[in-house]
A and B are shown apart, each in its own frame.
Chain A
Amino acid sequence: MINNTVIIWILIPVALSGILALLQRFAKLSTAIVLVSSALLTVLAFILPEDLILSIGSRQIAFTDSLEIFGRVLKITKANLSLVGGIYLCVFLWNSLARKLETSQWFNALSLLIASLWISALAVQPFLYASVIILLVAVVSIPLLSPRGSRSGAGVLRYVTLQAIAMPLILLSAWMLSDIETAPSASALILRATVLILGGFAIWLALFPVHTWLPMVGQESHPWTLSFLLVVMQSSLTVFFIYFFEEYAWLRNLPNIWEILRWAGIGTIFIASLLLSFQNQIRRLLAYFYLWETGYALLAIGLAQDGGLHYLPLIFMPRILGYAGLSYIIVKLEHLEPDFDGNINNLKGFFHRYPFLSLGLISTLLSLSGLPILASFPAKRHLINLLPWSGYGMETWLILGFVGALIMTFRIIYALVSPSEEEQAIAMLAPQKEDIGIAVFCTALMLLFLISGFFPSIFSGLFKGILAPFENIYLFN
């Protein structure tokens, strides 16, 4: 009974999260349970062979890949396990530092629950029912984004509201899709279903102008918690979006759909970059880099028929590193400098006082911006090379997109290396308060950025299988 992929990667984590909720006050025990379980789930997801038969010595354990619940099927095949492994890897990585970074005491339990909900969203059939599960994820995230002891922020409420608005759009499209199979290609049904699907995804992916909850939540919520939710959400939604193109021939054969997606990607990159360049609050950077990365994910999907999807797995690890690095550094800076109000202009003198954190911040921003030799560069370079000739149109907006992100990065570098007004003397410029944990984390982060930049295939190999369920999307009309 237990050797079922759905039970292992969805039901057991849900049950464990219930137990962890009861153990939330026992920080060490709760963290140990979540770390061991997520590590086991990650390793098992990556090592399980194609035929779902695991050999341990002379013993063979065969796994079944589907389970019926309330008359509907949940299915996790080998093709899905790369993403499943990736999601539980994030649970492991984020939980390993969660208690040290003083996140909500519910983080252990809810991170495991959220991971299993995202996996069930990708496993449920018909897959459009996932829209309700995605709303469920948003509601479950509330105690993490707005923990007790802080006033309820408008950002969290707006986030849940927008997810609730997106859900009906996708569900109604599901109902309409059942009629499309028999309808002629120019049917009004296709137009309606397309508008509903694209509208629903625009809200889910927080594209402009429905992105407003992102900076608000970025400002209100704990950066480490938010980065976990964003990295899991972005990876899952990207794959979920591809499912639509894989499943529905009428959608991928719509005239200009790929070009629309490419322009949507470039538009999102440009807007994220524009918003980044004018941003003064360090906490909001995470929100705008999320938007920036969404733009690249859309660009990769828009370039699917030219091979763009092959570079999607390349972005996963740099994104995980970038979000983790940025949020860790923001939390640590806020802990070490209680008077720091989050304004970028008040980072003056920090490079001299916190060299590891400052170097980590600079390398994270440069990597997320896609500068050469750092982690995000290979994927972004390949994607840009795939862009079809558009009479300088796309290229111009993309360059402007880079300029905005670089302006932000260099503003931060300038602020970091400028001495503060009270700290002009060289003698005062001694490193302070950075413990060994910060030094190890920032050094490892910088090394990983460099390794990912020089040898992108090392980490992309882990997530290569994410594209395994997709075959039809590569087919031309």
Chain B
Amino acid sequence: MTKFLLTAAVITGLLAALANLVRRKWLFNILALAIQYVCIFIVFPKTDGFMHALIKIIVGLMSTLIIYLTIQNTGAVKREPFEFKLSAGELFRMLSAVFLVTLVVLASPWLLKEVFPQSNIYILILSLGLALIGLLQLGSKTESLYVIIGLLTFLSGFELLYGSLEFSALLEALFAIVNLLIAIAGAFFIVKDLETETP
């Protein structure tokens, strides 16, 4: 059961990140970001109890909420009808991400044995997958909302990996502050762009 749950969380988390990379529908992206944090909560090591994993999900969902509320209140990003058909750019991003995730899945057993023996295969696949998809998003998008989502994805992947290697309360507090400030920065950019667009 645990293995099934972990596998499902890893797959869902990676699919959510992939959805964020490929599509540009803000409500869909926000939802995918929230799902991503839930999956991280499931996979996060719980050897010292639930508290650390709980901090991650609370901070993650709060960051998501900050971005959601900003967009909702300002109407900064227009709601567009959802289309299933993929454009060439979306297809390219999807294939790049699939290629990277495949590489991560193939390299993870070796990485687990040689570099990160303290971690486990589920954490390694989800964390490296999220970090690489986040990086791809950072490199392929320029709109502030999507860059911020890319940053949060990249950092959540790294935090998951680091959480399996070492725990420090100070570091956790700093990570929480950084995540929340990045979300606030995202909100700041959304409002600012709206102000400059409005005559």
Contact = CB atoms under 8 A, between A and B. Distances in A.
A100 interface: no
A168 B154 CA distance: 10
Contact of B193 (A140, A151, A171): A151
Interface string A118-161: 00000010000100110110011011001011111010010011
Contacts of A175: 162, 165-166
A132 B171 contact: yes
Contacts of B193: 151-152
Given A71-B170, A136-B174, A148 B192 contact: yes
B169 A132 contact: no
Given A146-B192, A148-B195, A160-B185, A70 B147 contact: no
A369 to B, nearest CB: 35
A139 B192 contact: no
Contacts of B68: none
A139 B181 contact: yes
Contact of A152 (B115, B178, B189): B189
A107 to B, nearest CB: 16
B131 to A, nearest CB: 8
B147 A140 contact: no
B74 to A, nearest CB: 13
Contacts of A440: none
A335 interface: no
A135 B178 CA distance: 7
Interface in B81-113: none
A161 B178 contact: no
Contact of B177 (A69, A136, A168, A172): A136
B147 A161 contact: yes
Interface of A is mostly: helix
A136 B178 contact: yes
A79 interface: no
B166 A152 contact: no
A157 B135 contact: no
Interface in A163-188: 164-165, 167-168, 171-172, 175
A72 interface: yes
Contact of A136 (B162, B166, B181): B181
Contacts of B185: 139, 142, 160
B168 interface: yes
A456 B188 CA distance: 44
B182 interface: yes
A151 B170 contact: no
B138 interface: yes
A219 to B, nearest CB: 16
B2 interface: no
B169 to A, nearest CB: 4
Nearest to B151: A164
A70 B147 CA distance: 31
B196 A132 contact: no
Contacts of A139: 178, 181-182, 185
A171 B154 contact: no
B173 interface: yes
Nearest to A150: B196
A148 B187 CA distance: 12
B148 to A, nearest CB: 8
A168 B162 CA distance: 9
Contacts of B154: 164-165
B122 interface: no
Contact of B175 (A132, A151, A192): A132
B111 to A, nearest CB: 12
A129 to B, nearest CB: 6
Contacts of B162: 168, 171-172, 175
Given A152-B192, A175-B162, A71 B168 contact: yes
Nearest to A151: B196
B142 interface: yes
B70 interface: no
B171 A129 contact: yes
B168 A142 contact: no
B141 to A, nearest CB: 10
A157 B144 contact: yes
B158 interface: yes
A147 to B, nearest CB: 8
Most chain B CB within a 10 A radius of its CB, from A129, A149, A150, A157: A157
A125 B107 CA distance: 33
Interface string B133-154: 0010010001010010011001
A125 to B, nearest CB: 10
The 6 closest A-B pairs by CB, nearest first: A70-B170, A70-B169, A132-B174, A72-B170, A139-B181, A168-B158
Interface of A: 69-72, 124, 129, 132-133, 135-136, 139-140, 142-143, 146, 148-152, 154, 157, 160-161, 164-165, 167-168, 171-172, 175, 192
Interface of B: 115, 131, 135, 138, 142, 144, 147, 150-151, 154-155, 158, 162, 165-166, 168-171, 173-175, 177-178, 181-182, 185, 188-189, 191-193, 195-196
30 contacts: A70-B168, A70-B170, A70-B173, A71-B169, A132-B171, A133-B174, A136-B177, A139-B185, A142-B188, A142-B189, A143-B188, A146-B192, A148-B192, A148-B195, A149-B192, A150-B192, A151-B193, A152-B189, A152-B193, A154-B142, A157-B144, A157-B189, A160-B151, A160-B182, A161-B147, A164-B154, A168-B162, A171-B162, A172-B162, A175-B166
Given A149-B196, A152-B144, A157-B147, 13 more contacts: A69-B170, A72-B169, A132-B171, A133-B174, A139-B178, A146-B189, A148-B192, A150-B192, A160-B185, A161-B138, A165-B154, A171-B158, A175-B166
